[in-house]
Structure 1
Amino acid sequence: MSESSSTPASTSTQGENLERGLKNRHLQLIAIGGAIGTGLFFGSGKLTNVVGPGLLLVYALIGFVLFFVMRALGELLLSNLNYKTFGDIAKDNIGPWAGFMVSWNYWFSWVVGCVADLVAITAYIQFFWPDVPVWLPALVTAIGLIVLNLQPVKAFGETEFWFAIIKIVAILALIFVGIVLVLTGYENGDGTRAAVSNLWTHGGFFPTGITGFVLGFQLAIFSFIGMELVGTTAAETENPHRNLPRAINSILVRIVVFYIGSLGVIMMVTPWDRIDPEQSPFTTMFSNTGFAAAALVVNLVVLTSAASSANSGVYSATRMSFGLAKDGHAPKALNYTTRRGVPMKAVFFTTVFLFAAIPLLLGGDALTQAFTVVSSICSADILFTWGSIVVSYIIYHRRHPERHRASGFRMPLPRIAPWVVLAFFVFIAFTLTLSPDTRIAAILSPFWFLLLAVLWQVVKRRLQKQHRPLTSEIPMVSPREIRQHFDDAEGK
């Protein structure tokens, strides 16, 4: 570490411990739900219009790279179960300043992400109720998120379990219906026929050229935000050495089925140039085929998906602010849990910022444009979080080769893959500068990180003046203990 750490920095009056209330079925479905973000349902219409069928390759490349990020995260978490958040990983491997910046950045990225979800929820509500005031769905949803996140973690797990079930059933049903339409050569209302050849006969597989292909990455990355959610649930999951590897290893299959499978079928049934960029392509497919009732059901499904994403975001952000308080990097009051293990004050602190969606909705001309701007800011911030995981892994692998060898869940190509991933993230950051809608994220992000750097100096000097450690200590785990944890997990 670049700066010292020793004893815990803060305590709470009521409680300061989270409970391991998430079971294997919760973790597996949370992993699936996290891999199916709002961007897939709401933002993919515009993405399809920008990229064309080449979007399938964009999703494949991003998913492949993020699989390595998740493998790195899995090895880090299981090398020391005293890691509770990404901030813990960063501060232990990079330094206290990194823990501060990563934690606050991840908290902020999910707050912004939840605002994007509220924008999407408003758009879905308007499908059913066109005259609804734009502020009302955001207000009701924000209040609902407060209530949901004041329940014990087991209730969160159950909520996300059923939300994920709805997503899975809906996407698999769409894929099945789409395949039937392709096999029967169904003719859409506009005269086009459902066929596999629609992927390349409407201007080619890359109809918008290399420019459109590159621009696709800047928007597509938001769809994957939430994939790292299994990392924030590890501290509240039963038998993580058995359950976490299962959740992470199935990520590639989920991306192939839910992203490439669903959008591939959609573009076979409805050619990419007939998809309305202002609507969800899931809805457009059924609308164009004359299944109005099915389109209504799909809108209801994507509405629950956006609610699920926002719920997960509030959960992640509250756990991050709770951890910051334990380190003395946030107000001490946030380091408080109820008797049921709920960080209640952290929940209120996080959710109050969601009401920022209301002025955004009132001031925006188009919901899709508002969603694009907000989601691009979230994307820029999440790249920093993902990058911190990879940098932490590089340092961990160099400093603790014995812990790497003892692990039963090692990252593939540990000397090469992290650097490839970081180079890919630099490329993604560059693409954010190419479009006016996303350029605002590239412009604002440096100011945000500069603010975090200034705030760290303020917090650092306060802690030093009070003769307190710069962060709480994370107990070490020996290679023998790591191996024993995996052996115990395999025996259960």
Structure 2
Amino acid sequence: MHDPSNPQWMSKMTTPPPSPVAAPPAPPGHGQSPQQSGLQSGLKNRHLSMIAVGGVIGAGLFVGSASGITAAGPGILLSYALVGALVVFVMRMLGEMAAANPTSGSFSAYADRALGRWAGFSIGWLYWFFWVVVLAVEATAGAAILTSWVPAVPQWAWALIVMVVLTATNLASVASFGEFEFWFAGIKVVAIAAFIALGGLAIFGVLPGSDNAATGFANLTSHGGFLPNGPSAILTGVLMVVFSFMGSEIVTLAAGESEDPQRAVTKATKSVIWRVGIFYLGSILVVVSLLPWNDPSIAKKGSYVAALDSIGIPHAGQIMNVIVLTAVLSCLNSGLYTASRMAFSLGQRGDAPRAFARTNSRGVPQAAILASVLFGFIAVGFNYLWPDTVFQFLLNSSGAVALFVWLVICFSQLRMRGIILRENPDKLVVRMWLFPYLTWATIAMISFVLVYMLTDDSEGGGRIQVLLSVLLAIVVVAVSLVRDRLGRNTVEKESLTAH
């Protein structure tokens, strides 16, 4: 996922008024089936299951973990555990709302209902912007790997090729998106499972032919202790790893186009704990157990390649390039899907051009997909023409959006619990633990991370990301409020004219 660590209130509880742009066909919160909304139930349960399992594994895990280990030492495990806990809590809250009302707008639609029209509009467009910038990041990363294999094809051409192929996949049908993502996610899952299995055997000296000394878990404490750079390094590590978790919420958007949305969301929500525990904590534990945290090869080669090299796996670098390319293509595929479905939902609610809410005969929101990929192409161009100015501005201004999304999910769930209990109590099949205390605790934790980011004044660091992301959010919220005011004035004038 988009990984900056890699040099990178409440309104009255009413149904939202009609927009001056286009009246939504149904108020958010009352839901529509895929057929009613124009989408089709093309995602099978196996698609949703693999999206849920693999969606939380981004390229940032493979690429960005080395800098976190270098900064925090073995204590990076605590950084991953803290962020993992945040993801588990946020997904539990989102799962509660999504199981009760699966929709392609997910948290944006819930914010619309719970917090007000301005909230749904703002977080929806910010999320769309985040993902179209990610398209450019991942297309460039994938093109760099492919160019290293086939240098005769220029990097810009590879970026164009992967974007065109995955755009065609998304335009074909939601089933083709699901099939591609099933295999992409499957490769990531198998790769990490194999890495953990082989690494675990090597740690205890039972891997045949391994070059690694059977040190057990001695490397966790024998090179300056578990926290060699002090407890504050845990928080530094949090800033470096938090964005590699972005994407776990995709399954709640995709559920709206599945055969059994409620079952899919419930299953994905309940499995997030072991997914985070195995894929993130498990694989990082293997890395810091196999190698001393300050081993130069971690920073030079990357944490996973260095670990594979240490146990004598031949061609470890190329193997990891294949896996990273798979993660990049998976992120591109799911990012385009996610951006288009958020644009589709915004169009349905009158917060985007109404063309975004139209689907073709295959149930695909063609205009929403093309608009999203067009901005992605433009961003790729910025990355090649002005990488240190315009594109860096896009990266920084989207850097804290993930945390904004999590905060909005928390605040929405505080209000949606009461709405669900009042309107459809039988649909409350997933419940946030220790409500509302754990919800408020999660809000406090996310807010603390945002404040702590302000202490990072490095170039392209946390401070500039938070400040530019807040500035962008203010602009988007202002646009929403102005639209609502103009809409109300138009309705009042039409009412007066009618009388």
What is the TM-score with the length of structure 1 in the denominator? 0.85
Partner of 1:114: 135
* Whole-angstrom distance in 1 between the partners of 2:216 and 2:92: 37
Q: Output the CA distance in 1 between the equivalents of 2:41 and 2:241.
A: 33
CA contact (8 A) 1:79 1:403 kept: no
The 1:194–1:163 alpha-carbon spacing in structure 2 relative to 1, beyond 3 Å, is farther
1:243 counterpart residue number: 264
Corresponding residue number in structure 2 for 1:390: 410
**Amino acid paired to 1:175:** I
1:145 corresponds to which residue? 166
| 1:162 partner SS | helix
Residue 30 of structure 1, CA deviation: 0.4
**1:273 maps to 2:294:** yes
In the alignment, the residues of structure 1 paired with residue 72 and residue 394 of structure 2 have an alpha-carbon distance, to the nearest angstrom, of 20
Q: Secondary structure at the match of 2:432?
A: coil
Residue 78 of structure 1 corresponds to: 99
Distance 1:125 1:83, change over 3 A: closer
Q: Tell which deviates more after alignment, 326-335 or 130-139.
A: 130-139
Change (3 A) 1:240 1:258: same
Unaligned runs of at least 5 residues, structure 2: 1-10, 26-35, 493-499
Q: Deviations over 1:286-318 (max 9, x none)?
A: 234443423312210111111101211111110
Does 1:93 pair with 2:114? yes
Residues 332 and 83 (structure 1 numbering): CA distance in 2 closer, same or farther, change over 3 Å? closer
Query: Separation in 2 of the partners of 1:140 and 1:283?
Result: 27
Residue 60 of structure 2 aligns with an amino acid whose one-letter code is G
Alignment partner for residue 360 of structure 1, among 373, 383, 392?
383
* Contact kept? 2:202, 2:210, Cα under 8 Å: no
Note closer, same or farther for the CA distance 1:427–1:195 as it changes in structure 2 (3 Å cut).
same
Structure 2 contact 112–118 (Cα < 8 Å) conserved: yes
1:61 Cα deviation from its structure 2 partner = 1.6
Q: Where does structure 1 lack aligned partners over 5 or more consecutive residues?
A: 469-492
Counterpart selection for 1:200 from 221, 232, 238: 221
Displacement of 1:94 in angstroms is 0.8
Report the Cα offset of residue 424 of structure 1: 0.8
Aligned counterpart for 1:233 among listed residues 237, 249, 254: 254
Q: Which residue of 2 aligns with 1:159?
A: 180
| Contact 1:215-1:434 within 8 A present in 2 as well | no
Q: Secondary structure at the match of 1:22?
A: coil
1:317–1:17: structure 2 CA closer, same or farther, 3 Å change rule?
A: same
Say which SS state the counterpart of residue 226 (structure 1) adopts. Answer: coil
1:221–1:119 distance in 2 versus 1, CA, 3 Å: farther
Query: 1:213-249, CA deviations, whole angstroms, 9 ceiling, x for partnerless residues?
Result: 2111112111110001111112112212222111111
Amino acid at match of 1:164: A
- The C-alpha deviation readout for 1:173-214, integer Å capped at 9, x for no partner, is 11111122222288998x976542112212221122233221
Check whether the contact 1:41–1:282 (CA below 8 A) recurs between aligned residues. Answer: yes
1:425 pairs with one of 446, 458, 474: 446
Equivalent-residue separation in structure 2 for 1:78 and 1:223 (angstroms): 25
1:415-464 superposed Cα distances (whole Å, 9 cap, x missing partner) = 21110110011111123223313222112012101210222134224433
| Map of 1:30 onto structure 2 | 51
Aligned partner of 1:66 in structure 2 is 87
2:102/2:252 contact within 8 Å kept: no
Deviations 1:42-68 (A, max 9, x none): 111222112221111111121122212
* TM-aligned CA distance change 1:428 to 1:11, over 3 Å: closer
Matching of residue 210 in structure 1 with residue 231 in structure 2: yes
Mapped pair 1:444 → 2:468: yes
Question: C-alpha displacement at 1:19, in angstroms?
Answer: 1.2
Q: Kindly indicate whether the alpha-carbon contact (under 8 Å) linking 2:55 and 2:247 is maintained by their aligned counterparts in 1.
A: yes
* Residue in structure 1 matching 2:73, options 43, 47, 52: 52
> What TM-score does the superposition give when structure 2 sets the normalisation length?
0.84
CA distance in 2, matches of 1:153, 1:168: 22
1:332 counterpart (354, 357, 363): 354
Matched residue, 1:453: 477
Relative distance call for 1:326 and 1:405 in structure 2 (3 A) is: closer
The structural deviation recorded for 1:145 is: 2.6
**Alignment of 1:313 onto 2:324:** no
Q: Mark the CA change 1:43 to 1:410 in structure 2 (over 3 Å): closer, same or farther.
A: same
- From 300, 311, 316, the equivalent of 1:294 is 316
1:76-101 per-residue CA deviation (whole Å, 9 max, x = no partner) reads 12223467422210111111111101
Deviations 1:140-187 (A, max 9, x none): 222223112112111111111111110111111111111222222889
User: Is the CA contact (8 Å cut-off) linking 2:98 and 2:265 kept in structure 1?
Assistant: no
The one of 360, 371, 375 equivalent to 1:349 is 371
- Mapped to 2, the partners of 1:120 and 1:272 lie a distance apart of 26
2:105 and 2:346 in contact (8 A); partners too: no
Amino acid at match of 1:128: W
Q: Deviations over 1:338-396 (max 9, x none)?
A: 1001111111111112231343255558xxxx99x976654410111111111011112
- Higher mean displacement: 451-460 or 146-155: 451-460
Deviates more, 1:373-382 or 1:320-329: 373-382
Residue-pair matches, total: 460
Question: Using a 3 Å threshold, how does the CA distance of structure 1 residues 154 and 466 change in structure 2: closer, same or farther?
Answer: farther
Q: Supply the distance in 2 between the matched residues of 1:253 and 1:375 (Cα, whole angstroms).
A: 31
8 Å Cα contact 1:55-1:213 kept in structure 2: yes
